[in-house]
Amino acid sequence: MRTILSIGVDAAAYGMVLFIISIGLSIMMGLMRVVNLAHGAFAMIGGYIASYVLQDYGLGYGVAIAVAVAGTIVLAYPLDLLLYRRIYRNSDELTQVLLTIGITFLIIGVANYLLGPTSKTIPLPPSLSGPTDIGFRMVPTHRIFVIICGVVTALALWFLIEKTEFGIRLRAAVDHNQMADALGIRTEIIYSATFALAVGLGAFGGVVGAEILPIEPFYALRYMVTFLVVVSVGGAGSIGGALAASLLLGLADTTGKYLAPEFGEFFFYLAVILIVFLFPRGLFGRAY
């Protein structure tokens, strides 16, 4: 029973981290049809910035998150302008894979050159670092915090996409790209805004998830596949799909690690292959 509860909390927290990071990638893929393998690199940059702000300036955790998100967007924007715009929508996927792997490698190299190969800690504030009593058991507070972050992110995105002017334009651009162009909706601006949103969410997830996915230079490569898998299983562009896929994969991975640590990875990838092969459009998604 204790194991089941531990697995449950860990799986939910891990799943929520996957969700927060991957949802940006999912929205970007749904709208711009771009397989962005460098998404994890942006989460990593967010983590690095937060670590730097907390350790060298001693600012608060909340401030660190805000600076990390804004900083990552600022750093990534030139990449959108110079590189990503070439591959939105109308390029073949080989080009997208090559360009975004290139960006990933470049960021890994630069991160290591500037910050060294060791992993960086993002110290938690005292209010988040201890255990919390949830009535019948003690659970690490940070896990609860991550789960709440995930739920809030999902709700905020749902509101943004379903209820705001931006969301209407975004959905119009996804469903009828040319028509949106014809109607004078400036897809370019929507693309840039979406890119910023995706990168910002990635950075946010990178920071709050650093306890679970530690920040080090090979972060970008190590979890590249995992984020991509979430989008593929959930279906590109679907919030509910990404949430369900994240929790499902979080559960599969955590259970595997608890019960069969030797073959955890093996079962994870086996599950991925089976799901993607049987449901190529994702469990819940639309056609990509």
Which residues, numbered 12-41, are part of the site for another protein (CB under 8 A)? 29, 35
Least Å distance between CB 288 and another protein?
5
Q: Using CB atoms within 10 A of its CB, is residue 138 exposed (0-12), middle (13-18) or buried (19+)?
A: exposed
103 sits near another protein (criterion: CB under 8 A):
yes
Among 217, 234, 241, 250, binds another protein (CB under 8 A): 217
Least Å distance between CB 119 and another protein?
15
Among 5, 134, 168, 273, binds another protein (CB under 8 A): 273
259 sits near another protein (criterion: CB under 8 A):
no
Among 102, 130, 131, 240, binds another protein (CB under 8 A): 102
Among 78, 125, 131, 280, binds another protein (CB under 8 A): 280
Least Å distance between CB 283 and another protein?
12
101 sits near another protein (criterion: CB under 8 A):
yes
CB 245 within 8 A of CB 228: no
Type of residue at 61: Y
Least Å distance between CB 103 and another protein?
7
Least Å distance between CB 185 and another protein?
23
165 vs 262, which CB is nearer to another protein? 262
110 sits near another protein (criterion: CB under 8 A):
yes
269 sits near another protein (criterion: CB under 8 A):
yes
221 sits near another protein (criterion: CB under 8 A):
yes
Distance in angstroms (rounded) separating the CA atoms of residues 199 and 203? 6
Report CA dihedral (167, 50, 21, 217) to the nearest 10 degrees: 140
Interaction site with another protein (CB under 8 A): 29, 35, 83, 86, 92-95, 97-99, 101-110, 112-113, 117, 217, 221, 225, 228-229, 231-232, 236, 262-263, 265-266, 269-270, 272-273, 276-277, 280-281, 288
